[in-house]
Chains A and B, each alone.
Chain A
Amino acid sequence: MEALLLSIRLAITVSAILFVIGVPLAYWLTFSRWPGKFMIEAIVSLPLVLPPTVLGFYLLIAMGSNGPLGRFWQAAFGHGLAFTFTGLVIASVLYSLPFAVQPLAASFESIDRKLLDASAVLGAGRLRTFVRVILPLSIPGVISAIVLSFAHTLGEFGVVLMVGGNLAGATRTVSIEIYDRVQSMDYAGANQVALGLLLFSFVVLSIVYGVNRYIARNSGRRIWSPWPAK
């Protein structure tokens, strides 16, 4: 139970942070004309292809007592980052970044550019156009980004193990708990936790696809998802 609560706390924190940084980043990736933009797109998407242990390894080095992030944190707050909940949050934000940015960027991209032209000609600056036109028309993408960030953070294992270790109450998330129980041959306990996670993931994805279908039917717009809604 403690592990589940910790995982949910981590997932909520990470989803909130990803929303705050994901929206402006996705906006910039969608509308910027900077020719080097593709490199930022590649960096944001790296966690999709990298093994979690690779990302976790570099983060562990960076957050360690000799790493740049670890030294900065030590100087600023008087304690290190590795094997702490804060370290876990930073690692999870980076690991789940594409799951927030890609649905948002896809949603922004799908908006008819003539609507943005119309908004500008009617006297609205970029901020007003974003708040009044882009964001309301991207609600499906925003929901999708939050749900996918939450679900992905909840289920992550490799990065958590590398950066957070296995400290009860601090960094032992639900996926680590399952791993622990299997290691100690407690298959029944592992099954109980795994089944809970499986059901939760199924419910979350069902909501995403259900809302996707509902919105597609009612407005012609749809939530970003890896599979097309029929």
Chain B
Amino acid sequence: MTKPALGAQIHFARSPRSESKFVLDVTLEFVPGVTVIFGPSGAGKSTLLDCIAGLLKPQQGKIVAGDDTLLDTDARIDVRPEQRHIGYVFQSLALFPHMTAQDNVKYGLARLSSEEQNRRADEILSAFHIESLRSRKPRELSGGEQQRVALARALVTHPCVLLLDEPMTGLDSELKKSIAHDLLAWNDRHGIPILYVTHSHEEAAALGGRVVFLKNGRIVDQLAR
């Protein structure tokens, strides 16, 4: 199944978290498969993802997913984050600590019937090899298991794009490879465009796909593999 392409043109997005005059000026077109956004700390990688997810609003920009315009500052269109249908795995993972792994995964499926929620949750828990952990809470899971739950939660809704913000920080290289393998295997079947932010050469190499080099808020190079 091929998902529609998503494009983002984001200009002059000043980060409200920073006192510095940070400027993000990026134009990207995303296609099914993995696009690694690679760059040093402070390059604007997380700001770019937050803008696409709708958590930050750029002063000027346009974000399109298939036929849907998520943001168009000229046309004053700004779709709320809850209506953008985007998957996002934060660096901190942000799993709901009071819910079990299964409830975390089912959180984004509220609009579906109970049977469909269970079917989708079972499918993705199995794909990420965490079906036996479904009744555990995040604090009872290891770092790698939490990572798998966070990926499953973001992917189970079949988002139009998946944003991953350095999600494997702190994991050993074998675990990273194993999780990357499960992620790519899932995505071979679903063809979701994945934007994977990292500043690790090792992760960039493990995921393959296209690499976009970001520095000081601007794309300085692109590499198709």
Q: Which residue numbers of A lie inside 8 Å of B, CB to CB?
A: 112, 114-115, 117-125, 128, 132-133, 136-137, 219
Q: Is the CB of B94 within 8 A of A115?
A: yes
- Please state if A123 and B157 are interface contacts (CB–CB under 8 Å): yes
CB distance from B133 to the nearest CB of A (A): 19
In the assembled complex, B38 has its CB within 8 A of some CB on chain A? no
Report the minimal beta-carbon distance from B107 to chain A, rounded to whole angstroms. 5
Contact B86 A137 (CB under 8 A): no
B72-127: which have CB < 8 Å to A?
Answer: 80-88, 90, 92, 94-98, 107-108, 110-111
Cβ-defined contact, A114 with B92, below 8 A:
yes
Closest residue of B by beta carbon distance from A117: B55
Residues on the B chain within 8 Å of A137, using CB? 97-98
Q: Any chain A CB within 8 A of the CB of B53?
A: yes
Q: What separation, in Å, do the CA atoms of A136 and B99 have in the docked complex?
A: 10
Give me the 3 closest cross-chain CB pairs, A-B, nearest first. A122-B108, A118-B94, A114-B94
SS class, residues of chain A in contact with chain B: helix
| Cβ B98 vs Cβ A117 within 8 A | no
B85 touches A120 (CB 8 A): no
Complex-state Cα separation, A120 to B110, whole angstroms: 13
Residues of chain B within 8 A (CB-CB) of A120 are 54-55, 80-82
Tell me the nearest residue of chain B to A218, going by C-beta. B139
Residue contact A123 to B85, C-beta cutoff 8 Å: yes
Q: How far is the CB of A74 from chain B (nearest CB, A)?
A: 47
Contact of A112 with B107 in the complex, beta carbons under 8 Å: no
Decide if A121 touches B97 in the complex (CB within 8 Å). no
- Residue B153 is within 8 A (CB to CB) of chain A in the complex: yes
Write the B153-167 contact mask toward A (1 if CB under 8 angstroms, else 0): 100010000000000
Q: Determine whether the beta carbon of A124 is less than 8 Å from that of B94.
A: no
What residues on A are CB-neighbors of B87 within 8 Å? 121
Residues A124 and B82 in contact in the complex (CB < 8 Å), given A117-B55, A117-B90, A118-B90: yes
Nearest B residue (CB) for A133: B96
Chain B neighbourhood of A124, CB < 8 A = 82, 107-108, 110
Interface residues of B in 3-60 (CB under 8 A from A): 53-55
Most chain A CB atoms below 10 A, which of B54, B87, B107, B139: B107
- The CA of A150 and the CA of B140, in the complex, are separated in Å by 36
> A128 to B82, alpha carbons, bound, how many Å?
11
Whether the Cβ atoms of A122 and B97 lie closer than 8 Å is no
Chain B, residue nearest A129 (CB): B82
Cβ contact within 8 Å between B92 and A112? yes
Chain A residues positioned under 8 Å from B108 (CB to CB)? 122-124
Complex partner residue of B157 from A117, A118, A122, A132, CB under 8 angstroms: A122
Q: Which residues of B contact A114 (CB under 8 A)?
A: 90, 92, 94
A168 to B145, alpha carbons, bound, how many Å? 64
Query: Is there contact, CB below 8 Å, between B94 and A117?
Result: yes
A76 to B90, CA, bound (A): 55
**How many angstroms from the CA of A137 to the CA of B98 in the assembled complex?**
7
Distance, CA A125 to CA B54, complexed state (A): 13
Contact B86 A121, beta carbon cutoff 8 Å: yes
Q: Which residues of B contact A136 (CB under 8 A)?
A: 98
With A and B bound together, what is the CA distance between A71 and B111 in angstroms?
A: 50
CB neighbours of B110 from chain A (8 A)? 123-124, 128
User: Given A114-B90, A117-B90, A118-B88, do A123 and B96 touch, yes or no (CB 8 Å)?
Assistant: no
Docked complex Cα distance between A219 and B98 (Å): 9
Determine which residue in B54, B84, B97 has the highest number of CB atoms from chain A within 10 A of its CB, and name it. Answer: B97
Residues of B within 8 A of A122 (CB): 82, 107-108, 153, 157
The docked-state distance in angstroms from the alpha carbon of A123 to that of B117 is 14
Beyond contacts A117-B55, A123-B83, A123-B85: 5 other A-B pairs, Cβ-Cβ < 8 A, are A122-B82, A123-B157, A128-B110, A132-B96, A219-B97
